[in-house]
Structure 1
């Protein structure tokens, strides 16, 4: 890998890390029945997964969580700190580290795509939505069960309140990543 391409990859990572922080400026919407708000920040996570891939995506998300752990106010509502990472929303945040590998692993397993091969729009939509609903919601619900004493299945089903908004985010992420992919081809 040339110095120029390394610099490009580092710049992409920094841009997406900055996007995560910018999306934190949009306040979350509390649900009341679940100690987890609706946030826009997971749209940035989805874009990171689709555009940066497994390794670079995971590294950017790990860097983001490191900023959170250091107490920087980079989460929705200007929150940060170890208490957040180990509080009620912690499972959702930690699941972001698994998101890139789960998405690209399923892309390879189900659609027989090589690493970095873009799935079609519908494949990307289905995979991203499935990983979000199964992995992210599942880890979030498991965390709520272990951390807050909530019944796992009740917590998991309560996550279904996120589905309409998350499907819109999945659609936007797939659309934006496809547009960027096609623009990069020219």
Structure 2
């Protein structure tokens, strides 16, 4: 890896950490029946997953996670600190660390893409839906089950309130990813 490509990787990573933080400034919408708000920040997470790949995406999410852990207000609503990373929304946030690697692993297993080949738009949509509905909702529900004593399946099914918004975020993330990929090919 040349110094120029290393600098480009660091710059790209810094831009995406900043994007995650900017999206955190948009306050979440509380639901009342579930201690997890509707947030726009997971759109930035989806962009990290799609654009940066498994290694860089996971590294960016780890840096972001560390910023949150030391108390910087980088999570939705200007929150941060260990209390947030162990509170009701922690399972969803912890899932963000896994999303880049799981997405690209599924890309390889399901569609047979090697070497981070750019999936077709519909493949990206399918993969993001899978990691969102299974990994993100599953870890979020599991955490609420163990941390808050809520029933796993009742919380998991309550997550379905997020599906319409998440589908819009997935569509936007895939559109932006595909547009950026096409622009980089010229």
Q: TM-score range by the shorter chain?
A: over 0.9
Aligned to 2:171: 171
Distance in 2 of aligned mates of 1:13 and 1:184: 17
Show structure 1 runs of 5+ residues with no match: none
Which runs of 5 or more residues in structure 2 are unaligned? none
Matched, 1:37 2:46: no
Question: Which runs of 4 or more aligned residues in structure 1 lie more than 6 Å from their structure 2 counterparts after TM superposition?
Answer: none
CA distance in 1, matches of 2:117, 2:159: 31
TM-score, scaled to structure 1 = 0.99
1: CA distance, partners of 2:65 / 2:5: 25
| Partners of 1:116 and 1:105 in 2: CA distance | 9
TM-score normalized with structure 2 length:
0.99
**In structure 1, what is the equivalent of residue 47 of structure 2?**
47
CA contact (8 A) 1:104 1:115 kept: no
Give me the whole-angstrom Cα distance separating, in 2, the residues matched to 1:78 and 1:6. Answer: 31
Q: Take 1:20 and 1:115, find their aligned partners in 2: how far apart are those partners?
A: 26
Q: How many residues align?
A: 186
| C-alpha displacement of 1:18 | 0.1
Matching residue of 1:23: 23
The answer to whether the Cα contact below 8 Å between 1:96 and 1:136 also exists between their aligned partners in 2 is yes
Mapped pair 1:96 → 2:96: yes
Q: CA deviation at 1:129?
A: 1.0
| CA-to-aligned-CA distance 1:92-125 (integer Å, 9 cap, x gap) | 0000111011100010001000131011000100
What is the RMSD computed on CA atoms of the aligned residues? Answer: 0.5
d(CA) in 2 for partners of 1:157, 1:110: 25
Map Cα deviations across residues 126-171 of structure 1 (whole Å, 9 max, x no partner): 1111111110000000000000000000010010000000000000
1:148 corresponds to: 148
Q: Distance in 2 between matches of 1:59 and 1:146?
A: 27
Q: For 1:67 and 1:162, locate their aligned partners in 2 and report how far apart those are by CA, in whole Å.
A: 26
Q: How does 1:127-138 map to 2 (within 5 A)?
A: 127-138=127-138
